[in-house]
Chain A
Amino acid sequence: MKNKLALLALSAQKINRQHVQLVFVLVSLAMLVLGTGAPADGGGVGH
């Protein structure tokens, strides 16, 4: 168990702060463009 926790901590340390920031920015931008854009494609129109 201790080993697993240590491994988890080590993996977490490897995650760069900038990578986390990039993920947040990408998710935010995806929400921004989906929220403000209004294209209609065949799949969406069928609903």
Chain B
Amino acid sequence: MILLLALTAGLLAGLVWAYWRGHPYQAPELGHLWLVFVAFLPQFVVIYLPITRGTFPEWLVVGCLLASQILLLGFAWLNRRIPGMSILICGIVLNLAVMASNSGFMPISPQTASRLVTEERLLDIQTGSRIGAKDILLHPEQTRLEWLADRFLPPVWSPYQVAFSLGDVLIAFGAFWLLAKPESSIQLKKRGIPL
């Protein structure tokens, strides 16, 4: 949800910026778009699609999730020259590193998870079990690369509670930048648009 919000905010910022500059909005010229669809498909089936989610063995879910992320990293790398993509790549690498080091899922501590679910529900979830779409409940001392885990939270008073990682922050910022300023200064100069 927060990542899609970052995309939406980036698009709105880009549209306003283009309007202010007096030229039409130009979407980032991403190449190899087919790769995103191919890369996301296995993850969509094992994680997001309600009718198939939960029907696959754990090893297959982990395999699909990591393979999907590696392919998405490949897509990002192929488009690394687009402004914002390098930040996004850093975020992908950080998330991939922490997930690969912790059984293929994003670790979240019981203390952080307690802000997202009720205490009774949390007591039902054993340490090392999956929680949410891509997370795994682990104590900080059991977590490898704990500083890259889902450990950040919005203020308590916020109506929307979400736990996110440093990688998520970079992915959100990179996605925002991609859409807010899809053309580099050099490209704008080439098109004769004043900066």
A and B assemble together? yes
* Chain B 108-146 per-residue mask, 1 if CB under 8 angstroms from chain A, else 0: 100001001100010000000001111100000000000
Size class of the B contact interface (CB-based, 8 Å) = 35 or more
Report whether B172 and A45 are in contact in the complex, using a CB–CB cutoff of 8 Å: no
**Within 8 Å of chain B (Cβ to Cβ): is A2?**
no
Do A37 and B168 form a contact, CB below 8 Å, given A18-B27, A25-B28, A45-B132? yes
> Which residues of A, 3-44, contact B by the 8 Å Cβ criterion?
18, 21-22, 24-26, 28-44
Q: Which of A24, A28, A32, A46 has the most CB of B within 10 A?
A: A32
Number of A-B residue pairs at CB separation under 8 A: 133
Tell me, rounded to whole Å, the shortest Cβ–Cβ distance linking B109 to chain A. 11
Tell me, rounded to whole Å, the shortest Cβ–Cβ distance linking A29 to chain B. 6
Per DSSP, chain B at the interface is: helix
Which residues of chain B are within 8 angstroms of A44 by Cβ–Cβ distance? 132-133
**Within 8 Å of chain A (Cβ to Cβ): is B61?**
no
Report whether A22 and B40 are in contact in the complex, using a CB–CB cutoff of 8 Å: no
Which residues of chain A are within 8 angstroms of B1 by Cβ–Cβ distance? 39, 41, 43
Which residues of chain A are within 8 angstroms of B36 by Cβ–Cβ distance? 28, 31-32, 35
Which residues of chain A are within 8 angstroms of B72 by Cβ–Cβ distance? 31-32, 35-36
Report whether B134 and A38 are in contact in the complex, using a CB–CB cutoff of 8 Å: yes
Which residues of chain B are within 8 angstroms of A41 by Cβ–Cβ distance? 1-2, 116, 132, 160-163
User: Which of chain B's residues has its CB closest to A24's CB?
Assistant: B33
8 tightest Cβ-Cβ pairs between the two chains A and B: A38-B106, A33-B3, A39-B164, A45-B132, A41-B162, A31-B40, A40-B132, A22-B27
